Structure formats: structure tokens, C-alpha cells
């Protein structure tokens, strides 16, 4: 499985954005552009927590302002997130919480350690 650390960036972005001004509880409340970006989540949208829906709607609103390389990475991260099971999402959130507590100057070392662990047999 690919590293969940890039997902931390996705979640961090969601947490740092201001709350959505448009309530996105229904898929139909999203704009067509937001629906295109979030299409990998369409089948599970109704099952997401409202806070998660609002976070993803906020990410989708910020998306047009991102440089092309960041847009591509975000699309990949959303697609990856959509394939995770609820348990994997829960673990990713826990890892994000733990990672966010790591001092900024130590984060790169933690990322490297995770990459090394993922490369070992049986850790994928």
C-alpha cells in the first residue's frame, strides 16, 4: 500500500481551510467542478461524516488556485483515499494526528523512517 503520509497533506489542507460556507451534505449541493474533482468519492459520499464532506468541499474550492503539479497530486490523493476501507481511513486519521504533533524540524526524518518501513517485506 502506498504511504499514507501524502494523505496527511490532504487532510491537513482540509483542516486548515475555513469551514465551508455551503453545506455539502448532499452530493447535489456540490458544484459541477467540485463533483468532477471528488468523483472518486461519489459512491461513498452519503456515508461520509458531514465534517469530512465539508472538508472535501473546501479542498475542492481551493483546488483551482493550486499549481498544476499540486492539482495532480491532490487528484491522486483523493483517488487513493476513495479506495481505502473505513478501517484504513481511521488508521490514516490516527497517523495524521500523531504526525501533526511531530515538530516541523523532525517531520522529514519521520517521513524517511516510514518510507524505509514500507520498503521492508511484509509491511505493504
Q: What is the DSSP letter of 49?
A: -
Relative orientation angle of helices 50-62 and 5-16, to the nearest 10 degrees = 90
Residue 110 pLDDT > 90? no
Least confident of 22-31, 76-85, 91-100: 22-31
CB 60 within 8 A of CB 34: yes
Mean pLDDT of 28-37: 94
Q: First-to-last CA distance in the chain?
A: 5
Q: Residue 29 has which C-alpha cell?
A: 449541493
Mean pLDDT of 17-38: 75
Mean pLDDT of 77-88: 92
Mean pLDDT of 82-90: 91
pLDDT single digits (tens) 12-24: 555 555 444 444 5
Amino acid at each position: 500500500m502506498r504511504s499514507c503520509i501524502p494523505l496527511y497533506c490532504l487532510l491537513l489542507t482540509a483542516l486548515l481551510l475555513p469551514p465551508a460556507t455551503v453545506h455539502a451534505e448532499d452530493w447535489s449541493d456540490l458544484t459541477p467542478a467540485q463533483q468532477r474533482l471528488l468523483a472518486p468519492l461519489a459512491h461513498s459520499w452519503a456515508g461520509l461524516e458531514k465534517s469530512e464532506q465539508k472538508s472535501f468541499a473546501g479542498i475542492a474550492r481551493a483546488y483551482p488556485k493550486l499549481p498544476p503539479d499540486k492539482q495532480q497530486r491532490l487528484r491522486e490523493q483523493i483517488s487513493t483515499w476513495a479506495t481505502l476501507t473505513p478501517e484504513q481511513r481511521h488508521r490514516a486519521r490516527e497517523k495524521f494526528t500523531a504526525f501533526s504533533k511531530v515538530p516541523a524540524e523532525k517531520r522529514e526524518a519521520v517521513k524517511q523512517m516510514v518510507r524505509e518501513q514500507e520498503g521492508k517485506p511484509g509491511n505493504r
